[in-house]
Structures are given as C-alpha cells and as structure tokens.
C-alpha cells in the first residue's frame, strides 16, 4: 500500500502530480470540497484519513497545536512568494532527498535551501 498524502487548498494539480509521480497516494483538499473551510475541519480530515499533510499555511506551523508524533506528518512549504513554480522546486528538492514515510509524525519546514525536521522524539 502506498503512503497517503493530502495537499492543502493552496497547492495545485501540478504539485499533486509531483507526489503521485514519486509514488505517493495523493489527494487534494480542493477536490474534496474543503476549499475555504476552517483549518480545523481540514486538519480533522487529515487525522481521520491518516494522511501526511502538505501546506503553505503558516497556521499549521504552531508546534503546540501540531505536536510531532500526534499526527501523520506535516510538511510546511515556505517559498519566496509561494508562487507555483517556486513551490514545485521546493517539493522536487524535498522528494529527491527524503522518503515521506521516514517523515511520518514529523513537522517538516522546507524552503528553497533547506529542510528542517522536528521529529516526535524532539517534543516541543
């Protein structure tokens, strides 16, 4: 069974294709009618489906609310201006250097140059 990933509404079809091409089972919040809904509702769906969540939304970066080890994993992408191409380059870099299965339960923040990983054992 492949590793399940959910993309937040701020990521597009091309980004989903990147994850699918890398072998991940990827769905998008937008395709599930979750566009514009409260972050808590999106997060509840992520937890219920046990999907690794990928977002640009800084609201998900608070370790007190999204403590490593208490969720399936979260990748926060921080691109310059968060334009689609910049985000795609960050996703490509992360996918080339990490197997998302190894990041399960982690809070991961990636920008154009580096990836910071907060693992469950590191707490908060």
- Are residues 4 and 47 in contact, defined by beta-carbon separation less than 8 angstroms? no
Containing H/E element for 28? strand 25-28
Confidence of residue 2 (pLDDT cuts 50, 70, 90): confident
Helix, strand, or coil (residue 5): strand
Residue 48 DSSP class: H
With cut-offs at 50, 70 and 90, classify the pLDDT of residue 1: low
Residue 100's domain comprises 4-122
pLDDT at 77: 97
Mean pLDDT of the residues in the chain: 92
**3-class secondary-structure state, position 91:** helix
- pLDDT at position 35: 85
Whether residue 82 has pLDDT greater than 80: no
Least confident of 34-38, 50-54, 93-97: 34-38
Percent of the chain residues past pLDDT 90, beyond the cut:
75
- Total number of domains constituting the chain: 1
């Amino acid at each position: 069974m492949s590793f399940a990933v959910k993309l937040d509404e701020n990521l597009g079809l091309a980004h989903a294709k990147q994850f699918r091409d890398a072998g991940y089972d990827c769905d998008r919040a937008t395709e599930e009618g979750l566009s514009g809904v409260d972050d808590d509702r999106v997060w509840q769906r992520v937890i219920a489906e046990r999907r690794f969540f990928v977002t640009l939304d800084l609201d998900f970066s608070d370790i007190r609310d999204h403590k490593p080890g208490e969720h399936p994993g979260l990748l926060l992408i921080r691109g310059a201006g968060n334009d689609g191409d910049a985000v795609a380059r960050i996703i490509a870099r992360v996918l080339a250097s990490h197997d998302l299965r190894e990041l399960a339960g982690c809070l991961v923040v990636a920008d154009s140059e580096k990836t910071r990983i907060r693992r469950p054992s590191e707490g908060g």
